[in-house]
C-alpha cells in the first residue's frame, strides 16, 4: 500500500510531515521519526502545535529537529562558497568505451591539468580548511580515467600532500577508477590513497556490454576490475564499488549485488541509475513510470548485499544528511576540468561546455599567475539555483533529495518535471522510513510513542 505524506504546517515550515496509517500515524522531520499510536495522535499533534506547553518529549524533540533542519537548509542555500574539497579531472581520455558515458562528447579533447593550476587551487582549499579547522579532501575523478596520466597523478598527489603538511592539515585522499591497470600500479595507488572507488556494473555479460575496453588486449574489462579489487584488498585499503543501473539491468540488481559482494568484496556499493545524455539519445534513459520497478529491485538487491554485511547505497536521497542537488556550490567542492576551469557541475568535464552552461565558477588568471574564484558568477548561480519547482515545496523528501539532478538542472526550471529520479528517490526514502517505523514499533505497544533516527539508504 502507498501511504500519503502531508505537511503538518503551511508550506512545511517547520518541516514536519504526517502519514496516517491503520492504527498509527508517522510524524517525520528530516532524518527523525515518531511512530504514534492512534489513541495518542491528537495529543501528539497538539504538542507540535503548542510546543511550549507540550508534555510529550518526542513532540518537542521532533520540533527541535525540524527547526535545526530548516536552519541548516537555509544556511546551505544562502551561505558563501567555501571549498573544502578539491576534485581533479586530470583528463578526458579513457581506455573504456562505456555505452552511457556522460563525458563522451569531450573525448576528442587532449587537455591536461597543469601542476601550477592544481597547486594554486589546492592552496585555496587548504586556506579554507585551516580557517575552519577541518581536514582537507582531494579527489581524483573523471571526466577521463585519472590513472592514464599516472605521472601527473603522482606529482599532483605529492604536491597536495606537501601543501596539507605545510598548512598542518589532515588530508583524505580518494581516487575513482575503472580499474584497467597493471596489478603493480593498482597496489601502488592503493598504498597512496585512503579510499579507492572502483566502477563495475556487475557480472561479466553486463560489464562487457556496458563497459567494454576501447582496445581488446587479451583480457576483458571484468578481468582487470577483479585484479584491481584483489590488489586493493592486498594493500589492506578500503574499497567502494560504483554501479550504474540501466533499464536493461534494472531487474538484475540482486544478481549484480551478489556478484560484487562475492567477487569484489567492497566495504560499500554505491548504486546510481544511468545519467541522461548519450544514453538518453538512444532511448535508454529511465522513464518516470519505471521508478517503482527500479525501487523494488533496488530493495531486493539491498537485502542480497545485506546478507554479506555490505551496504547497497543510493546517493540521490540521504535522510541522515541535509542536502540538495549535486551542484558543487552547495557541497563546497572545487572541481577542476582538464583545462583548469572550475565547474559547478560534475557532469561537465570540459571548459567550453562549462562556460556554455553558465556554471564556470573560477579559472586561471594569466596576469597574476594564480587560480581565482569567480565571486560574481558564484553569487548569480547561487541565486538562480535557489528557485525550486513548486512540487518540491511540500514534499517530505525535500530536505534530503537531489531532485532531477544531474539529468535536469534547476537552472532550467521551465524544463523541470516530477521525473524518474524525483519519484525513485521519494519511494526509496519512504521505504526506509517505513522500515524504521516497523523496527521502532516492533513491540506493538499501543500506549507508547516510538522515536528514532532514519539513518540512510544502505
Here the CATH number for the domain that contains residue 120 is 3.20.20.70
Domain-embedded: residue 381: no
Q: Do 104 and 278 contact (CB within 8 A), yes or no?
A: yes
Q: What percent of the chain has pLDDT over 70?
A: 93
**CB count, 10 Å around CB of 84?**
18
Same domain, 20 and 140: no
When pLDDT is averaged across residues 95-122 and rounded to a whole number, the result is 85
- pLDDT, the chain, mean: 91
- Note the pLDDT of residue 341: 97
Same domain, 90 and 207: yes
Same domain, 106 and 177: yes
Q: Do 281 and 242 contact (CB within 8 A), yes or no?
A: no
When pLDDT is averaged across residues 175-196 and rounded to a whole number, the result is 96
Beta bridge partners of 239: 196
- Note the pLDDT of residue 418: 78
When pLDDT is averaged across residues 376-384 and rounded to a whole number, the result is 92
Helices 150-166, 115-131: axis angle to 10 degrees equals 30
Same domain, 65 and 92: no
Domain-embedded: residue 66: yes
Domains in the chain, number: 2
Picking from 22, 19, 14, 15, the residue whose alpha carbon sits closest to that of residue 4 is 19
- The residue from 349, 373, 397 where one domain ends is 373
Domain that holds residue 200: 85-373
Beta bridge partners of 243: 271
Domain-embedded: residue 458: no
- The residue from 373, 402, 423 where one domain ends is 373
Same domain, 240 and 268: yes
Same domain, 304 and 235: yes
Same domain, 348 and 431: no
Residue 417 scores a pLDDT above 90:
no
Q: Give me the count of residues in the chain.
A: 458
- Note the pLDDT of residue 104: 65
Same domain, 73 and 204: no
When pLDDT is averaged across residues 325-335 and rounded to a whole number, the result is 95
Same domain, 342 and 412: no
- The whole-angstrom separation of Cα 271 and Cα 93 is 24
**Predicted confidence (pLDDT) per residue in 260-298, tens digit:** 999 999 999 999 999 986 544 455 789 999 999 999 999
Same domain, 65 and 91: no
Same domain, 392 and 354: no
pLDDT-derived band at 248 (thresholds 50, 70, 90) equals very high
Query: Between the CA atoms of 45, 50, 56 and 59, what dihedral angle is there, to the nearest 10 degrees?
Result: 60
DSSP 324-378: --S-HHHHTEEEE-TTS-EES-TT--SHHHHHHTT-EEEEEETTTTEEEE-HHHH
Picking from 273, 318, 324, the residue whose alpha carbon sits closest to that of residue 428 is 318
- In terms of Cβ atoms closer than 10 Å to its own Cβ (0-12, 13-18, 19+), residue 101 is buried
Domain-embedded: residue 325: yes
Domain-embedded: residue 380: no
**CB count, 10 Å around CB of 92?**
24
- The whole-angstrom separation of Cα 249 and Cα 247 is 6
Task: Give whole-number Cα distances, 123 to 15, 83, 248, 336, 379, in Å.
Answer: 38, 11, 44, 14, 22
- The residue from 340, 373, 406 where one domain ends is 373
When pLDDT is averaged across residues 132-150 and rounded to a whole number, the result is 95
pLDDT-derived band at 456 (thresholds 50, 70, 90) equals low
Backbone φ and ψ of 7, nearest 5°: -70, 140
**Predicted confidence (pLDDT) per residue in 116-137, tens digit:** 999 999 999 999 999 999 999 9
Same domain, 65 and 158: no
Domain-embedded: residue 167: yes
Domain-embedded: residue 223: yes
Task: Give whole-number Cα distances, 72 to 296, 314, 321, 323, 400, in Å.
Answer: 32, 22, 10, 9, 11
Domain-embedded: residue 379: no
Q: What percent of the chain has pLDDT over 90?
A: 76
Full-model pTM: 0.93
Amino acid at each position: 500500500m502507498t501511504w500519503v505524506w502531508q505537511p503538518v504546517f503551511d508550506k512545511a515550515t517547520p518541516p514536519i510531515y504526517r502519514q496516517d496509517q491503520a492504527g498509527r500515524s508517522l510524524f517525520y522531520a528530516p532524518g527523525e521519526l515518531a511512530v504514534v499510536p492512534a489513541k495518542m495522535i491528537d495529543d501528539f499533534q497538539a504538542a507540535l502545535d503548542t510546543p511550549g506547553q507540550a508534555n510529550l518529549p518526542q513532540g518537542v524533540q521532533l520540533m527541535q529537529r525540524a527547526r535545526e533542519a530548516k536552519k541548516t537548509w537555509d544556511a546551505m542555500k544562502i551561505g558563501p562558497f567555501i571549498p573544502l574539497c578539491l576534485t581533479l579531472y586530470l583528463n578526458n581520455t579513457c581506455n573504456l568505451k562505456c555505452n552511457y558515458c556522460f563525458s563522451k562528447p569531450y573525448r576528442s579533447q587532449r587537455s591536461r591539468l597543469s601542476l601550477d593550476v592544481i597547486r594554486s587551487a589546492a592552496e585555496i582549499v587548504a586556506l579554507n580548511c585551516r580557517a575552519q579547522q577541518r581536514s582537507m579532501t582531494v579527489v581524483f575523478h573523471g571526466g577521463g580515467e585519472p590513472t592514464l596520466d599516472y605521472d601527473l597523478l603522482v606529482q599532483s598527489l605529492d604536491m597536495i600532500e606537501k601543501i596539507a603538511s605545510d598548512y598542518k592539515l589532515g588530508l583524505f585522499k580518494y581516487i575513482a577508477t575503472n580499474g584497467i591497470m597493471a596489478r603493480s600500479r593498482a597496489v601502488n595507488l592503493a598504498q597512496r590513497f585512503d579510499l579507492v572507488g572502483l566502477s563495475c556494473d556487475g557480472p561479466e555479460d553486463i560489464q562487457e556490454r556496458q563497459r567494454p575496453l576501447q582496445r581488446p588486449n587479451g583480457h576483458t574489462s571484468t578481468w582487470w576490475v577483479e585484479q584491481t579489487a584483489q590488489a586493493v584488498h592486498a594493500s589492506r585499503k578500503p574499497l567502494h564499488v560504483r554501479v550504474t543501473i540501466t533499464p536493461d539491468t534494472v531487474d538484475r540488481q540482486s544478481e549484480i549485488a551478489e556478484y560484487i559482494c562475492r567477487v569484489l568484496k567492497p566495504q560499500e556499493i554505491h548504486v546510481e541509475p544511468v545519467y541522461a545524455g548519450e544514453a538518453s539519445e538512444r532511448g535508454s534513459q529511465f522513464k518516470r513510470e519505471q521508478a517503482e520497478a527500479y525501487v523494488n529491485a533496488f530493495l531486493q538487491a539491498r537485502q542480497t548485499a545485506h546478507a554479506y554485511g555490505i551496504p547497497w547505497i543510493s546517493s540521490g536521497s540521504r535522510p541522515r544528511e541535509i542536502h540538495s542537488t549535486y551542484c558543487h556550490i552547495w557541497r563546497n567542492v572545487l572541481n577542476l576540468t582538464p583545462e583548469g576551469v572550475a565547474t559547478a557541475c560534475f557532469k561537465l568535464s570540459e571548459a567550453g561546455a562549462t562556460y556554455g552552461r553558465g556554471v564556470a565558477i573560477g579559472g586561471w588568471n594569466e596576469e597574476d599567475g594564480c587560480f581565482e574564484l569567480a565571486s560574481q558568477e558564484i553569487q548569480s548561480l547561487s541565486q538562480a539555483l535557489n528557485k525550486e519547482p513548486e512540487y518540491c515545496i511540500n514534499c517530505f523528501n525535500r530536505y534530503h533529495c537531489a531532485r532531477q539532478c544531474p539529468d535536469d538542472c534547476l537552472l532550467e526550471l521551465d524544463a523541470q518535471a516530477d521525473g524518474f529520479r524525483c519519484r525513485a528517490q521519494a519511494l526509496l526514502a519512504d521505504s526506509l522510513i517505513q522500515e524504521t517505523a516497523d523496527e521502532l514499533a516492533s513491540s506493538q505497544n499501543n500506549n507508547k510513542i516510538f522515536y528514532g533516527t532514519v539513518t540512510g539508504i544502505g
